Amino acid sequence: MFALSTLWKAPEVNPINNKARSIPLLNVVCVHGRVFFFSWLGFFIAFWSWYAFPPLLKSVIAEDIGLTDSEVLTSNIIALLATLLVRLVAGTCCDRFGARWTFAGCLLIGAIPTFLAGTAHNFSELCALRFFVGILGGSFVPCQVWTTAFFDKNVVGTANSLTGGFGNAGGGVTYFVMPAVYASLVARGLSTSTAWRVSFVVPGILIVSVAIALLLLCPDTPNGKWSERAQAIPRSASITSSQSKTVRIAGEDSKTSSPSHDAEKHVGGFDEKKDGTTTPSSDDDTPQVGEQYEIDAAQQEVILKPTWAEAMKVVFSPQTLVLGACYSCSFGAELAVNSILGSYILLNIPTLGLHGSGNWAAMFGLMNIVFRPLGGVVADYAYRSTKSVWAKKILLHTYTTLAGVFLVAIGQSDPTDLGMMVGLLCIGFAFFDEGANGLNFALVPHVHPFANGIVSGVTGACGNLGGIIFAIIFRYGGGYARSIWIIGVVIIAVNVLTVWIKPLPKGQIGGR
């Protein structure tokens, strides 16, 4: 049962892999809480800067440098291209160099075009800068891989969804902050042309500060340096019986058990079959047997430096591709909708004005603070209750499909009433779409965990691929409303076609 004190107390730690079994949300002193804090903060600042253009693009920047509506939409597509490529590379870098260094690298490199954002004076220069600012979007992959490395399987879905959700909220905060920074600069006497250019210095400074802080204050893994990540995991059942009782991969306080004869594998007191389901094992009076299975599972989850052949097997496995397809639908839709939301609300409800429409558009992104973590919490609860990875998968497809249904409803109704717009888009669609994002990365740690960086990178990149595809639909779909329901239909179709694929690869042991 959840205890409020876990929010600030140092967490109980799995003695085999040193991963936390609770989330010290308000504790930045203990190492797990510190990594959790910088994981979401780094991605929050990155997302804010990545989406710093849309709040000012249509009404301020476009007028200043003479952009057409089609050029504005095209620049939104360009902004997602670099992120797609960087996320693919970042996944491999996480497995090779560690998530912490990859994270800092994405932030520091992405800070350069952020500082230079104000140098754009025409469409070509704007596209070039937005392309390189997109590097910051790649920071999502090390954010999730780093969190996965520090939190055990009973809470990893919640931990990932919290860091991802808090980070994604940067896409909502930017709709408040960038217009406010711009307005304050204008009030201090700067011209509108100069004010929007100077405003990008603010996120640039914050990006560099956070990158340096996470390098100085946080370790690579719970066991220390990246090069020593496997050394702290015992290779035999040498831990004590009292310690073994706290080690439950499935998050249950069951007794240490021995493997069942007909089970495919045994993890954390449960026999896990080939289809990803688990059943309680029989009790065993010899705790060392159960301990050895726990140790084997932990060893198999140590991230390996990938060879090309191994990486390609992981990338093109059906389970990885399904994760990518689902994330392309959920996060891809979020990216595309976030890019046009302020303009869409202003078009349908012009009485709101620039600031009013921007504030309501911000609400969609800010819902990530609640809805994405809620998806991870639901996923972890379902997994602990059913002992089956299928529970997470079914929830993922259900959430994503319902997000598509809401998009169809929005596109068909094309609401001009503020209450209906907010209810359908900023609450209904946001609940299922952002919850699906959390569910997706609650499932990712179970699939090929020895290559978690690659799986996370491919999944994250597919989110951007979906964003690009949906942005193209907005570009050529014949209006916002029509494009929205078309995207909804695509999302529903993709999920119906992929729901039947098993969540775990055949023969995978302990979630490997």
Q: Which residue has the higher pLDDT, 17 or 84?
A: 84
Please say if the pLDDT value at position 377 is more than 50. Answer: yes
Tens-place pLDDT, residues 455-501: 999 999 999 899 999 989 998 888 999 999 999 999 999 999 999 99
pLDDT reported for residue 170: 86
Residue type present at position 189: G
The radius of gyration of the chain's CA atoms, rounded to the nearest angstrom, is 23
Distances (CA, A) of 504 to 149, 263, 323, 446, 447: 20, 15, 11, 7, 6
Kindly report, residue by residue over 165-195, the tens digit of the pLDDT. Answer: 899 888 778 888 998 999 999 999 999 999 9
Pairing of strands 265-267, 278-280: unpaired
Q: What value does the mean pLDDT take over residues 227-253? A: 46
Residue 300 has pLDDT above 80, yes or no: no
Residue ranges per structural domain of the chain: 22-224+307-498
- Is residue 257 pLDDT above 60, yes or no? no
Report whether pLDDT(303) > 80. no
What residue type is assigned to position 127 of the chain? Answer: C
The pLDDT, as a whole number, for residue 139 is: 95
Residue 230: what pLDDT?
Answer: 62
Residue 150: burial class (beta carbons within 10 Å; 0-12, 13-18, 19+)? buried
- Bigger pLDDT: 283 vs 428: 428
Exposure on the CB side of residue 198, measured as CA atoms within 13 A: 15
Above 80 in pLDDT, residue 389?
yes
Which of 453, 373, 394 has its CA nearest to residue 36? 373
3-class DSSP assignment, residue 247: coil
Q: Residue 140's closest CA among 216, 215, 88?
A: 88
CA-based nearest residue to 69, from 360, 411, 339: 339
**Residue appearing with tokens 């879905």:** 157
pLDDT reading at 439 higher than 70: yes
- Residue 250: pLDDT over 70: no
Q: What percent of the chain has pLDDT over 90?
A: 56
Q: Which residues on neighbouring strands pair with residue 131, listed in sequence order?
A: none
pLDDT tens-digit series, residues 81-126: 888 999 999 998 998 899 999 999 999 999 999 999 999 999 999 9
Residue 353's pLDDT is what? Answer: 84
- pLDDT (0 to 100) of residue 304: 63
22-224+307-498 in CATH: which number? 1.20.1250.20
Lowest mean pLDDT among 45-54, 124-133, 238-247, 322-331: 238-247
Residue located via tokens 């409303």: 481
Six-digit token string for 404: 């598509």
